[in-house]
Amino acid sequence: MEWRFSPQSLTTKRIKFVFCASMAIVVYLSTTYTAMNKSKKTTDVLQLPAFIKKEDVRSTQREHIVLQQSKIIVDSREPSISVMNKSVGIKEGKMIQNMEEIQKKRKGLIKKICAGIQPGANGYYKPLGNKMLIFNDQYKFLYCKVPKVAGTSWRRVLLVLTGVLNSTAKVPGFNVYQQNYPSISQYKNNRRNYTSFVFVRHPFHRLLSAYRNKLEKTVPLGFEKIAKQIISQYRHNTSFDNTNSEANVSFPEFIQFLLNFKSKSNLNKHYDFQHKCCAVCEYSYDFIGHFENIVEESNYLLHSLGITRVSFPEHDVYDHATNSTNNTTYMKYYSQVPSRDIIELYKLYEMDFKLFGYPFPKELV
């Protein structure tokens, strides 16, 4: 039988072949797209923070933050600052209306988290030696000072109460710190009926305050060695010059220094962990104050202690204030820090965020 070439039959076959090939491509692309969407949920994901467990998440809503090519999933179970610090304040004689409820939440949060910390857990640091509490026998209170949390302002109040100062009007900080303050060890404290209190601060605001106060411009005595160490480690062919602020430590360099510091249990007190400074899991405080609302909360505390002849000074009127809580200042400095370093810095100080109810700073990544 002789085979004959038919242009019409060849065209029909070509059409069928192209159609089948097109359908195969469509099916392949559809399958690939579906698989890619599924894989996005399980691959290249960085869970933050490590201590957050699914059963602890208060809300079913999850905040998704895209960081470069990685997806960071943050479950925020800690009450936000806006919730924890919401209060009326002592303004024009009006007492804080919901401070008792706020204190109940803050202390309850600390108690819950401390109860879940396992011995030797990473991220929680016990204090080295005995922590000293400043006390006042007349008004029966014990104060644990966390550096960079308005300690100078509180010392001014203490000096007025003891009669050293007549008011909390502007007094140079070095004069305030030259005074002696009666103190007692936490572990030898026999003043059981005294009101104990501590004030804490957003960890990143506090770090910025430490940097601006100690390393940014004129470096105070005691920090020159640290400044030299940072510059020699992160800036080649440059020498520390305390007469030239442009040659001093930059904020990203300071952050790198913290992240790479080998002995995390021996950080300088100005950027040490707040939970360690006052041993919040080892010692139960009656009042947990937040720096973000410090004037109102401090005056509430003073009134509750029966102190009416002195008010807490506005911290931002003093020359040493760094304005580090101001959002514009905060964003200006932290915008210089790579997102990956922000994540690592959060992990380093996550226990302070967790214990004191501060949320993950998603605005920085």
Strand order in the sheet with 70-74: 45-48, 70-74, 63-67
CB 102 within 8 A of CB 87: yes
DSSP string across 215-274: TSSSPPTTSHHHHHHHHHHHSTT----TT-GGGS--HHHHHHHHHH-S-GGG--TTSS-H
DSSP string across 140-186: TEEEEPPTTSSHHHHHHHHHHHTTS-SS-S---HHHHHTS---EEEG
Structure tokens at 22: 């097109």
Give phi and psi for 75, each to the nearest 5.
-105, 110
- Give the dihedral sign, CA 130/213/224/172: negative
- Going by C-alpha positions, the residue among 310, 306, 300, 305 that lies closest to residue 167 is 310
CB-based burial of residue 180 (10 Å sphere; 0-12 exposed, 13-18 middle, 19+ buried)? exposed
Q: What is the pLDDT of residue 185?
A: 78
Place of tokens 């770090």: 207
CB 157 within 8 A of CB 312: yes
Structure tokens at 193: 């009926």
Residue 204 vs residues 5, 246, 247, 255, 274: alpha-carbon distances, Å: 81, 23, 24, 10, 12
Q: What is the pLDDT of residue 20?
A: 62
CB 133 within 8 A of CB 141: no
Q: What one-character DSSP code corresponds to residue 124?
A: -
Q: What one-character DSSP code corresponds to residue 200?
A: E
Gap between the Cα atoms of 79 and 359, Å rounded: 7
CB 258 within 8 A of CB 345: yes
Residue 332 vs residues 146, 264, 327, 329, 337: alpha-carbon distances, Å: 25, 27, 8, 5, 10
Q: What is the pLDDT of residue 83?
A: 40
The reported pTM is 0.74
Coil, strand or helix: which one is 107?
helix
CB-based contacts of 89, cutoff 8 Å, min separation 6:
96, 293, 295, 296, 297, 299, 300
Gap between the Cα atoms of 71 and 67, Å rounded: 6
Q: What is the mean pLDDT of each run of 10 residues along the chain (365 residues)?
A: 47 56 60 49 41 36 36 42 46 62 96 87 79 89 94 91 86 74 77 92 96 89 88 78 69 96 89 94 94 93 94 63 83 96 96 96 93
DSSP string across 140-153: TEEEEPPTTSSHHH
Q: What is the pLDDT of residue 26?
A: 54
Domain boundaries, the chain: 7-74, 81-364
Residue 132 vs residues 17, 188, 359: alpha-carbon distances, Å: 85, 10, 29
Parallel/antiparallel/unpaired status of strands 195-200 and 141-144: parallel
